[in-house]
């Protein structure tokens, strides 16, 4: 991505459940509540969430081009979609994004992407929603991008893209692992990569069960990174076999303009769906921001990554 091309994402809540959106194949005409604008050359993306005690907790990547590192923030809404609270809840020395929230028994977990750390780390809520600890007995076989777990008939499946290889590989390969418990042990699927297609391989949201089959939102990266969401219906899934068919791309709604250049997350949260939409900025101010960041890095100052 050149310095005169900057992806800016906007995160929102659609007042419609994810299975219904996948069935209608469109987000056009749906009522939306948008999260606050974090300011110039910052964005919120990769939203995941859950309802608890009649409150909707939306976790999202908070990114600033001034330091080029993401952290995880939470936004709390009531049933009337009034914003009650917003705060940072998780940061590391490395970039964090795609904060999948998992309720398993009495525990709540967070599984953010952190492939630059060289591993996939699971966090357990110590005091929900803002205190998290690493789960020491979770050991995933490899670093994973956009890891998207789902539990079906007592077995956990993890859909993800591999962190190795080229940037094109990270946008076009789908891997799978399975386990009998969330903490593992996890087993890599022998068919990996089970799918190689820039149009519909990299995960982009919550896997859901529709008519007895898993439907995985995937990203269409042919035109631009995160250009659209393509539902991938899994028709055969065992520890040794995999087959799937791709649906029709779901694009950003026309009335979201100027955020109509991409759509790369559809995640389920009960009766609502969380989304992010992209606009491509070509402001020359990005050059000044990048020069300042590089200067701070040379001088060893904070934020100069």
Give residue 81's domain range: 6-298
User: Is residue 14 in a domain?
Assistant: yes
Please tell me the predicted confidence (pLDDT) of residue 192.
98
pLDDT bin (cut points 50, 70, 90) of residue 70 is: very high
Q: Is the pLDDT of residue 288 over 60?
A: yes
User: Is residue 162 in a domain?
Assistant: yes
What rounded mean pLDDT belongs to the chain? 95
User: What would the pLDDT profile of 164-181 be if each residue is shown by its tens digit?
Assistant: 888 889 999 999 999 999
The predicted model gives 243-263 an average pLDDT of: 98
The three-state (H, E, C) secondary structure of the chain, written as one string: CCCCCEEEEEEEEECCCHHHHHHHCCCCCCCEEECCCCCCCEEEEEEEEEEECCEEEEEEEEEECCCCEEEEEEEEECCCCCEEEEEEEECCCCCCEEEEEEEECCEEEEEEECHHHCCCCCEEEEECCCEEEECCCCCCCCCEEEEEEEEECCEEEEEEEECCCCHHHHHHEEEEEEECCCCCCCEECCCCCCEECCCCCCECECCEEECCEEEEEEEECCCCCCCEEEEEEEEEECCCCEEEEECCCECCCHHHCCCCCEEEEEEEECCEEEEEEEEEECCCHHHHHHHHHHHHHHCCCCCCC
Q: Is the pLDDT of residue 4 over 80?
A: no
The predicted model gives 33-56 an average pLDDT of: 98
Please tell me the predicted confidence (pLDDT) of residue 305.
59
pLDDT bin (cut points 50, 70, 90) of residue 216 is: very high
User: Is residue 305 in a domain?
Assistant: no
Number of folded domains that form the chain: 1
Q: Is the pLDDT of residue 301 over 70?
A: no
| Contact assessment for residue 84 and residue 77, using Cβ atoms and an 8 Å cutoff | yes
User: Is residue 69 in a domain?
Assistant: yes
User: Is residue 303 in a domain?
Assistant: no
Please tell me the predicted confidence (pLDDT) of residue 89.
98
User: Is residue 304 in a domain?
Assistant: no
CATH number of the domain to which 175 belongs: 2.115.10.20
User: Is residue 1 in a domain?
Assistant: no
The CA R_g of the chain, rounded to the nearest whole Å, is 18
**Distances from the Cα of 167 to the Cαs of 113, 115, 225, 247, in angstroms?**
16, 13, 11, 24
Query: pTM of the full predicted structure?
Result: 0.95
User: Is residue 248 in a domain?
Assistant: yes
């Amino acid at each position: 991505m050149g310095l005169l091309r900057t992806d800016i994402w906007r995160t929102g809540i659609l007042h419609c459940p994810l299975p219904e959106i996948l069935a209608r194949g469109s987000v056009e005409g749906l009522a939306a509540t948008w999260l606050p604008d974090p300011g110039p050359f910052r964005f919120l993306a990769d939203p995941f969430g859950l309802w608890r005690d009649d409150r909707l907790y939306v976790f999202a990547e908070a990114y600033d081009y001034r330091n080029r590192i993401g952290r995880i923030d939470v936004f709390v809404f009531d049933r009337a979609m009034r914003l009650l609270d917003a705060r940072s809840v998780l940061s590391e020395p490395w970039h964090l994004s795609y904060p999948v929230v998992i309720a398993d028994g009495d525990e709540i977990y967070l599984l953010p992407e952190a492939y630059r750390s060289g591993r996939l780390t699971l966090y357990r809520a110590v005091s929900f929603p803002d205190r998290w600890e690493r789960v020491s007995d979770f050991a995933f076989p490899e670093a994973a991008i956009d890891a998207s777990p789902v539990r079906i008939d007592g077995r956990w499946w993890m859909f993800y893209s591999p962190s190795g290889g080229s940037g094109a590989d990270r946008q076009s390969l789908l891997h799978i692992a399975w386990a009998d418990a969330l903490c593992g042990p996890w087993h890599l699927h022998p068919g990996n990569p089970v799918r190689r297609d820039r149009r519909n391989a990299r995960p982009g949201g919550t896997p859901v069960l529709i008519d007895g089959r898993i439907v995985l939102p995937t990203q269409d990266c042919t035109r631009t990174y995160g250009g659209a969401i393509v539902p991938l219906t899994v028709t055969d899934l065992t520890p040794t076999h995999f087959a799937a068919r791709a649906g029709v791309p779901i694009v950003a709604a026309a009335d979201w303009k100027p955020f109509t250049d991409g759509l790369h997350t559809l995640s389920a949260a009960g009766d609502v769906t969380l989304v992010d939409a992209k606009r491509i900025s070509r402001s020359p101010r990005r050059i000044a921001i990048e020069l300042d960041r590089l200067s701070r890095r040379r001088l060893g100052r904070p934020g100069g990554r």
